[in-house]
């Protein structure tokens, strides 16, 4: 597979350095599907992989080392995001993954994009953070309404992404006839900068690395969804609720951006051992991980234990369930 990342390289280097010690302790590679490199799933997935790993020979949590699962080497891999990750977990090609609540719920139920293709092996480990819908236009271009996209060249995100599923539902709702381009956020950013796209959608936690880069070069604008548009979108996609991207989230955007958002979740397969997922969940919510999340990415601060079960509409993995029961969060 082409999805191995720098985390895999780091993990392999660590194993080589540890040598014989690694051989003495059982080691387990654990692949976490994320998203495109220019989005938020990828860096957040990397932080989580780092937090839950404890390679053979690593210092223990009590001695100031990692607080991850002993022997676990988690690897964040870049994928096409939500729908891809759901399919791969169901098929056993990924151990875990990040996915939007819409894809998680519809996948498990076999509805929406997943009609006749249920992902009944998928289970939730934790709710993570809200993902805001970005509708990006060139600098100086302000749409009056979504209908202004008619006839335009519009990026609708990658095939296999939850964003694309939602965007096409929105486009259908408004009867928009656009020239659709299936592109990841980095490709969309580049084509917008080159004048090959008039606009593109992307749902992710803020700030997006690709947009930070675009803001420092060509610049861009963000579409302000009207109250009626947000209400209509919530009506067709209940998982999307009203949200705001605050002014200053992107250096070049000095105005608040009303939009809609869906929660991103960490999911796994019911076939993963309960003791392993218990350890992963415990590591995810350790004090050491709190520090990594707070310092590693601005959206990491939104990943909180108190919202770990918010919007979870499918069963938890038994290992995760055990952890939350011990915390008194569920009975």
Pairing assessment for the beta strands 241-245 and 257-269 based on DSSP bridges: antiparallel
Q: What is the pLDDT of residues 272-319, one digit of tens each?
A: 999 999 999 999 999 999 999 999 999 999 999 999 999 999 999 999
Residue that is written with structure tokens 């998928």 in the block:
122
Residues 140 and 242 in one domain: yes
Nearest CA-CA partner of 185 in 167, 160, 166, 203: 203
pLDDT: which is higher, 116 or 17: 116
Confidence of residue 25 (pLDDT cuts 50, 70, 90): low
256 and 272 co-located in one domain: no
Taking residue 147's Cβ as centre, other Cβ atoms within 10 Å add up to 11
pLDDT of 160 reads: 82
Q: pTM for this structure?
A: 0.85
pLDDT at 15 over 50: no
- Whether residues 97 and 169 share a domain: the answer is no
CB 132 within 8 A of CB 185: no
Residue 66's pLDDT is what? 84
Give me the domain span that covers residue 16.
Answer: 6-130+264-326
Q: Are residues 195 and 92 in the same domain?
A: no
Gap between the Cα atoms of 210 and 187, Å rounded: 9
CA dist 248 → 44, 244, 245 (Å) = 21, 12, 9
Q: Measured in Å, how far apart are the chain's first and last C-alpha atoms?
A: 41
What pLDDT does residue 22 have? 42
Question: Is the predicted pLDDT of residue 14 greater than 70, yes or no?
Answer: no
Please check whether residue 1 lies inside any domain of the structure. no
Q: Please count the residues of the chain.
A: 331
Cβ contacts of 14 within 8 Å, gap of 6 or more: 55, 58, 73
Question: Is residue 273 a contact partner of residue 100, using CB atoms and an 8 Å limit?
Answer: no
| Tokens coding 303 | 């990943």
Q: What is the pLDDT of residues 54-72, one digit of tens each?
A: 999 999 898 888 899 999 9
Residue 182 CA to chain centroid, in angstroms? Answer: 18
**275, 232 contact by CB (below 8 A):** no
Domain CATH for 213: 3.40.190.10
Answer whether residue 12 shows pLDDT above 60: no
Cβ contacts of 266 within 8 Å, gap of 6 or more: 48, 96, 97, 98, 124, 125, 126, 128, 284
Residues 186 and 245 in one domain: yes
On whether both 116 and 156 belong to a single domain, the answer is no
Cα–Cα distance for residue pair 245/265, rounded to 1 Å: 20
Q: Do residue 209 and residue 121 come from a single domain?
A: no
Contact 324, 309 (CB under 8 A): yes
pLDDT over 50 at 135, yes or no: yes
Is 252 found in the same domain as 141? yes
pLDDT at 91: 98
Select from 214, 232, 262 the last residue of a domain: 262
- 268 shares a domain with 126: yes
Structural domain total, the chain: 2
What average pLDDT does the chain have? 92
36-55 average pLDDT score? 95
* C-alpha of 105 from chain center: 15
Clarify whether residues 302 and 248 are in a common domain: no
CA angle 197, 256, 192 (to 5 degrees): 10
**Closest to 131 (Cα-Cα) out of 157, 151, 112, 113:** 157
């Amino acid at each position: 597979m082409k999805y191995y990342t720098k985390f895999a390289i780091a993990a392999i280097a660590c194993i080589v350095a540890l040598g014989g010690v690694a051989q003495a302790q059982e080691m387990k590679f654990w692949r976490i599907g994320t998203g495109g490199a220019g989005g938020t799933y990828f860096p957040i997935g990397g932080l989580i992989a780092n937090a839950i790993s404890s390679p053979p020979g690593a210092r223990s949590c009590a001695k100031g080392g990692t607080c991850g699962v002993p022997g676990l080497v988690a690897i964040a891999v870049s994928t096409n995001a939500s729908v891809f990750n759901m399919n791969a977990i169901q098929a056993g090609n990924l151990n875990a993954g990040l996915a939007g609540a819409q894809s998680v719920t519809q996948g498990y139920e076999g509805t929406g994009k997943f009609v006749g293709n249920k992902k009944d092996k998928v289970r939730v480990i934790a709710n993570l953070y809200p993902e805001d819908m970005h509708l990006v236009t060139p600098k100086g271009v302000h749409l009056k309404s979504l209908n202004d996209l008619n006839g335009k060249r519009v990026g609708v995100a990658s095939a296999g992404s939850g964003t694309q599923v939602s965007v096409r539902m929105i486009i259908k709702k408004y009867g928009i006839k656009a020239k659709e381009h299936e592109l990841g956020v980095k490709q969309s950013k580049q084509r917008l900068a080159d004048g090959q796209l008039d606009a593109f959608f992307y749902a992710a936690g803020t700030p997006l690395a690709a947009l930070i880069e675009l803001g420092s070069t060509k610049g861009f604008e963000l579409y302000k969804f009207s109250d009626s548009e947000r209400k209509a979108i919530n009506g067709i996609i209940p998982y999307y609720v009203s949200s705001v991207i605050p002014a200053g989230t992107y250096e070049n955007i000095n105005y608040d951006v009303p939009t809609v958002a869906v929660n991103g979740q960490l999911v796994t397969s019911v076939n993963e051992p309960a003791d392993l997922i218990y350890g992963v969940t415990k590591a995810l919510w350790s004090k050491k991980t709190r520090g990594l999340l707070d310092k590693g990415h601005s959206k990491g601060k939104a990943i909180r234990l108190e919202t770990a079960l918010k919007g979870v509409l499918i069963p938890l993995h038994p290992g995760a369930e055990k952890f939350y029961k011990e915390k008194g969060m569920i009975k």
